Amino acid sequence: MKKRKIWPMLIIALLVVAGGGYVAYDQFLAPEAEVLEEPTIQTTLVTRGDLVITASGSGELMPSEEVQLAFQTGGAVVEVLVEVGDWVLAGDVLARLD
Give alpha helix (H) positions in the chain.
2-24
Model confidence pLDDT, tens digit, residues 26-41? 877 767 777 788 889 9
What confidence tier does 80 reach under pLDDT thresholds 50, 70, 90? very high
pLDDT value of position 17: 93
Segment 32-60 shows an average pLDDT of 89
pLDDT value of position 16: 93
Domain range for 2: 1-30
Residue 4 lies in a domain: yes
Residue 51 lies in a domain: no
Split into its structural domains, the chain has a count of 1
Residue 19 reports pLDDT greater than 70: yes
Residues 24/27/33/34 CA torsion (nearest 10 deg): -130
